[in-house]
Every structure is written in structure tokens, then in C-alpha cells.
């Protein structure tokens, strides 16, 4: 499990990914397909741009009233018979969930896909006290069996092809499976059905909490989300504290945007609205628990990064990002990758290596164009870089200052570039700021003279 604590250097992880031609082909195919599906689904909504603008504004209003809205959500969940746990950080979230597991004598847990539970390292915590955890989302189960981390927030196994999956499944199937996706899915259905029926606790994430009704809404395609929240006697939903709306009107708005942006669907197969444990019913969980998770999110409130709390985890930004499309999710070494991960991880993580992730960007703004709630991700990436820039060494500062000064004056600019064109080179490589030249090569002087010289001569 990755959590949000990158190790090592981004450049090295990216170099490994870029050298893997098969990975780049798989990523290109998958992200192209998702992107095309998204634009096609968006075209079916006439006022899509209006909805994006409205979503940006509404989410901002929700975040500005977060304490009141969370209070109402909690009141209604409790009125529906559920229990609310307030987790300031990952350790508190783990502790609350482990306490429920111990009280219930739980041995087997099934999970539907939840990035929040990846973030807090929940599976490891449960396994450490001897509980067997089974991921039931097909992509998550594949990577769980392979001992890997997810590489995309919507399609966790996007970096694997059918041969990879067959190899992984054959480790438990005894080598009899072909690599036909239908056969692999049938195997997963049969294996996981048993786990659902035997589980003591089902743990899910939460796409949207709804304060007005005290509900948790899950959008899924496979049916594992419904099984996880119906069959075991206990359901625990882990929710990032910002993933709420006040009203069903706002829920409707975001449900219009999310599936179209994520997979190009007009709706997911199932939209599951859960309002507490079962009441006078013979099916459904006896206990419902909502774990509301802070884990660094409150630091974004009132800051220039507050719009990052508007993210609805659709993954559209990953699919259009020229960097993500080349290096994939593992190079970010965080469960949140792509542009949203490059912003969110350094804001939530205490790992020193997290700060580098804002370099994983060309600042092209494709993410902002794709984002259904119009988060200005490129502005946030720039702001993160600016923050890091405040901590550079004196030598670097001097070098940057000198260069900026030289090129602010037309005559000095002409002098330095003319000198460079005559073979004097730009700045001797050894004097340039070390971390900036690492991974970059300085341009060689152009053959035939500088552009300006050739222009003056009429050569161009």
C-alpha cells in the first residue's frame, strides 16, 4: 500500500517509467479511450459549461460552511441509526476502525474501492492484527494479488494488460486461465462472491455525503460496492471530510458531472444511496459507521489551496496530463497521482519527497480544461513551486537574479546571446544551479549564427 509518502527522487522514478515502452503504450491507449469517452458524454449535456461553473461555486460554498454541514450530516446519520467517528488523522481513523473490528471479533473484511483508505494505510493496519482483507473492486483485487499499488485513481490496474492479469490470477487458479478478459472476470466473480458472503465487515469509501438526508452515496459499476455495503453485518464508510454536499440538488449536479468526467458514462450502473443501517428490514447491515477523515485537509481551509478540496476524484485530469500519460501513477509514489495528486499529496503529506511532485507538470492547463469542477490546478501547482522556491540556497538566488537582470535589458540580452552564438556557450554548466541542470541539457549554439543574426541577414 502506498499511502501518500513518496520516497526517493521523482526524476529517477519517472526515468524508470519512461524507459518502459509497454507501460507507455498501455497508458496511452487507456487514457485516450477514457478521454474520448468523457468528451463524448459531455457533449450530450447542452449546458455542461454552466454546470461546471456552478459546481465550482457550490463546492466553494460547501467548503466555506464545512463545520455546519458536517454537523448536520452527523446529526442525520445518528438519527438514522448510524455512528459517526471523527478522525483528525490517519492514526485516529485506523484506531476507530480497529476498535470496531475487535469488538465484533472480525476475521474477514471486504472492501470496495476507496482512495481514502489507501491514503491512511488501512489494509496494513487490519492485516497487522490478523484480519484478512479482500479488495473487491476488480482492478484493486488484481493489484492486491500482485502486491502492487494502484496507478490511477479510477482504473487502478491501468498499467497491466490481460497477460499480466492472467499471470496474476493463475497464481491462485493453478494455471488454468486464458487471458480472455471475460474468463478472467468470471473467475473474479466466483472467487469474490464467496468472500462477500463470509465477510464480517464491509468497508467502503464515500463519493458524496448528503447532509440533508444523512446519507452516503456510492457510484459503482461492478456491484461490489452494493455487496460490500449489504451482505456483511457491519458497514464502515470512510469519507474525506470535504466530500459532502448540503442538498439533493447539489448531489444531482455532481452526479451529472462525475461519471461523465470519469469514464464517459451518463451514469454508473449503480448509484447507491445509503441512509443508516437497516431499519425493520431483514437485509442490510445491522451497524453503520461513518468515519469522517481530516488528515491534513483542514490545513487547506482559508489558504490559497482551498479549491483543491473541491475535487470529486474523477481522474479526468490524469487522462489528459502529458506527464501522467508518459510516467503513470507509480512514478508519483502516492495513491493520488496526476495533476490532482501532484497538488494534494504535498499538501497532505509530511514526506519530504512529496514536495517534488509539483515539478511533474508542464503547466499546460489541460487538467483545468478537463476538470468537471474547474479546479485551477495549474495555478495551484505554480503556487506550490513558488513556496518551494522560497527555500532555495543563496547561490541559486544569486544565479537566478543575475540571469533575470541580464535578460531584462535589450542590449545585455543581445550581448549574451550573440556571445553564445559565437560558441562561448551560455552559462558554464558547472556554475548553473545544480538542481536545475540535473536532468536538463543546456542548448548548444545554433549552427549558422543566432536567429536574430540570420533574420537580419535575410536568411530566414
Span 429-448, contacts to other proteins by CB under 8 A: none
Q: How many CA atoms lie within 13 A of 71 on its CB side?
A: 4
DSSP 8-23: S-HHHHHHHHHT-HHH
Give the separation between CA 26 and CA 160, rounded to whole angstroms: 7
- Find out whether 114 and 203 touch, Cβ atoms under 8 Å: yes
Q: Which is nearer to other proteins, 247 or 450 (CB)?
A: 247
Nearer to other proteins, 44 or 415 (CB): 44
- Which residue, 133 or 138, is less far from other proteins as judged by CB? 138
- Stretch in the footprint of other proteins (CB under 8 A) among 7-15, 27-35, 353-361, 423-431: 27-35
Q: Any contact of residue 277 with other proteins (CB under 8 A)?
A: yes
Among 5, 18, 20, 33, binds other proteins (CB under 8 A): 33
Site string for other proteins, 35-64 (x = CB under 8 A): --------xxxxxx-xx-xx-xxx-x---x
For other proteins, the binding residues in 172-231 under the rule CB under 8 A are 181-182, 184-186, 188-189, 192-193, 196-197, 213, 215, 221-224, 226-227, 229-231
443 DSSP 8-state letter: P
Applying CB under 8 A, the site for other proteins has a residue count of 110
Cβ nearer to other proteins, comparing 293 with 399:
293
266 binding other proteins? (CB under 8 A): yes
- Strands of the sheet containing 83-87, edge to edge, are 83-87, 287-293, 234-240, 201-204, 108-111, 132-135
Determine contact, residues 42/182, Cβ cutoff 8 Å.
no
Half-sphere exposure of 453 (CA within 13 A, CB side): 14
**CB of 189 vs other proteins, minimal distance in Å:** 6
Note the helical H segments in 65-161. Answer: 66-79, 90-104, 115-119, 122-128, 138-146
Site membership for other proteins, residue 251 (CB under 8 A): yes
- Of 40, 178, 303, 362, the one binding other proteins (CB under 8 A) is 303
If the CB atoms of residues 192 and 234 are measured against other proteins, the closer one turns out to be: 192
Sole binder of other proteins in the list 22, 172, 273, 406 (CB under 8 A): 273
Among residues 12, 124, 127, 299, which is the contact residue for other proteins, using CB under 8 A? 299
Q: Smallest distance from the beta carbon of 272 to other proteins, in angstroms?
A: 5
Chain-centre distance for alpha carbon 285: 29
Burial (0-12, 13-18, 19+ Cβ within 10 Å), 196: buried
Task: Determine which residue in the list 304, 352, 429, 459 makes contact with other proteins, applying CB under 8 A.
Answer: 304
User: Which residues in 188-242 belong to E strands, given as ranges?
Assistant: 201-204, 208-210, 215-220, 234-240
Closer residue to other proteins, CB minimum distance, 14 or 87: 87
Please give the helix or strand (H or E) that residue 110 lies within, else none. strand 108-111
Which of 21, 281, 390, 438 touches other proteins by CB under 8 A?
281
Residue 74-93 contact track with other proteins, rule CB under 8 A, x = bound: x-----x---x-xxx---x-
Structural contact between residues 233 and 287, judged by C-beta atoms closer than 8 angstroms: yes
DSSP characters for 373-415? T---HHHHHHHHHHHHHTT--HHHHHHHHHHHHHTTSHHHHHH
Q: Which residues, 6+ apart, have CB-to-CB distance to 450 below 8 Å?
A: 417, 418, 420, 421
| Strand-pair partners of 265 | none
Task: Write out the binding residues for other proteins, residues 317-376 only, by CB under 8 A.
Answer: 368, 374, 376
Single out the segment in contact with other proteins by CB under 8 A; choices: 10-18, 99-107, 281-289, 430-438. Answer: 281-289
284 lies in the site for other proteins, by CB under 8 A:
yes
140 or 356: whose CB is closer to other proteins? 140
For 208, the 3-state DSSP assignment is strand
Binding piece for other proteins, criterion CB under 8 A, among 97-105, 120-128, 248-256, 346-354: 248-256
Residues 369-428 close enough to bind other proteins by CB under 8 A = 374, 376, 379
Shortest Cβ distance from residue 331 to other proteins (Å)?
Answer: 20
Applying CB under 8 A, among 234, 255, 353, 357 the residue interacting with other proteins is 255
Nearer to other proteins, 303 or 435 (CB): 303
Q: Quick one: 13 or 195, whose CB is closer to other proteins?
A: 195
Stretch that binds other proteins, among 249-257, 347-355, 407-415, 438-446 (CB under 8 A): 249-257
- Looking at 211-298, list the stretches that DSSP marks H as alpha helix, in order from N- to C-terminal side: 224-230, 248-263
> Considering only residues 149-168, where is the footprint of other proteins by CB under 8 A?
155-158, 160-162, 165
Contacts of 297 (CB under 8 A, 6+ apart): 240, 241, 242, 309, 348
Say if residue 99 is exposed, middle or buried (CB neighbours under 10 Å; 0-12, 13-18, 19+): exposed
Amino acid at each position: 500500500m502506498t499511502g501518500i509518502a513518496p520516497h526517493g527522487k521523482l526524476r529517477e522514478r519517472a526515468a524508470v517509467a519512461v524507459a518502459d515502452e509497454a507501460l507507455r503504450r498501455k497508458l496511452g491507449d487507456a487514457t485516450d479511450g477514457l478521454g474520448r469517452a468523457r468528451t463524448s458524454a459531455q457533449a450530450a449535456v447542452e449546458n455542461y459549461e454552466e454546470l461546471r461553473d456552478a459546481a465550482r461555486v457550490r463546492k466553494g460554498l460547501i467548503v466555506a460552511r464545512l463545520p455546519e454541514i458536517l454537523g448536520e450530516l452527523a446529526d442525520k446519520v445518528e438519527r438514522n441509526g448510524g455512528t459517526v467517528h471523527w478522525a483528525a488523522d490517519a492514526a485516529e481513523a485506523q484506531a476507530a476502525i480497529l476498535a470496531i473490528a475487535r469488538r465484533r471479533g472480525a476475521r474477514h473484511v471486504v472492501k470496495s474501492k476507496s482512495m481514502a483508505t489507501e491514503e491512511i494505510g488501512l489494509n496494513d493496519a487490519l492485516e497487522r492484527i490478523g484480519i484478512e482483507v479482500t479488495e473487491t473492486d476488480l482492478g484493486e483485487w488484481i493489484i492486491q494479488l500482485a502486491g502492487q499499488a494502484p496507478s490511477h485513481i479510477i482504473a487502478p490496474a491501468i498499467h497491466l494488460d490481460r497477460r499480466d492479469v492472467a499471470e496474476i490470477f493463475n497464481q491462485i487458479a493453478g494455471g488454468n486461465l486464458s487471458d480472455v478478459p471475460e474468463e478472467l472476470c468470471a473467475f473474479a466473480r466466483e472467487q469474490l462472491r464467496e468472500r462477500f458472503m463470509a465477510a464480517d465487515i464491509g468497508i467502503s469509501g464515500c463519493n458524496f455525503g448528503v447532509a440533508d438526508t444523512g446519507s452516503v452515496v456510492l457510484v459503482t459499476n461492478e456491484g461490489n460496492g452494493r455487496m460490500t455495503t449489504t451482505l456483511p453485518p457491519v458497514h464502515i464508510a470512510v469519507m474525506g471530510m470535504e466530500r459532502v454536499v448540503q442538498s439533493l440538488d447539489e448531489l444531482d449536479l455532481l452526479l451529472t458531472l462525475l461519471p461523465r468526467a470519469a469514464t464517459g458514462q451518463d451514469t454508473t450502473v449503480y448509484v447507491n444511496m445509503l441512509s443508516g443501517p437497516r431499519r425493520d428490514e431483514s437485509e442490510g447491515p445491522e451497524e453503520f459507521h461513518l468515519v469522517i477523515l481530516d488528515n491534513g485537509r483542514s490545513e487547506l481551509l482559508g489558504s490559497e489551496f482551498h479549491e483543491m478540496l473541491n475535487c470529486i476524484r474523477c481522474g479526468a485530469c490524469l487522462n489528459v496530463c502529458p506527464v501522467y500519460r508518459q510516467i503513470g501513477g507509480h512514478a508519483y509514489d502516492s495513491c493520488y497521482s496526476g495533476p490532482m495528486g501532484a497538488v494534494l499529496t504535498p499538501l497532505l503529506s509530511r514526506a519530504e519527497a512529496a514536495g517534488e511532485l509539483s515539478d511533474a507538470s508542464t503547466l499546460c492547463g489541460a487538467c483545468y480544461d478537463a476538470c468537471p469542477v474547474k479546479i485551477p490546478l495549474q495555478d495551484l501547482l505554480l503556487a506550490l513551486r513558488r513556496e518551494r522556491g522560497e527555500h532555495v540556497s543563496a547561490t541559486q538566488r544569486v544565479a537566478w537574479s543575475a540571469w533575470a537582470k541580464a535578460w531584462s535589458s535589450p542590449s545585455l540580452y543581445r550581448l549574451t546571446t550573440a556571445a553564445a552564438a559565437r560558441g562561448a556557450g551560455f552559462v558554464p554548466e558547472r556554475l548553473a544551479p545544480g538542481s536545475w541542470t540535473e536532468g536538463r541539457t543546456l542548448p548548444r549554439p545554433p549552427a549558422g549564427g543566432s536567429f536574430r543574426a540570420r533574420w537580419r541577414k535575410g536568411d530566414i
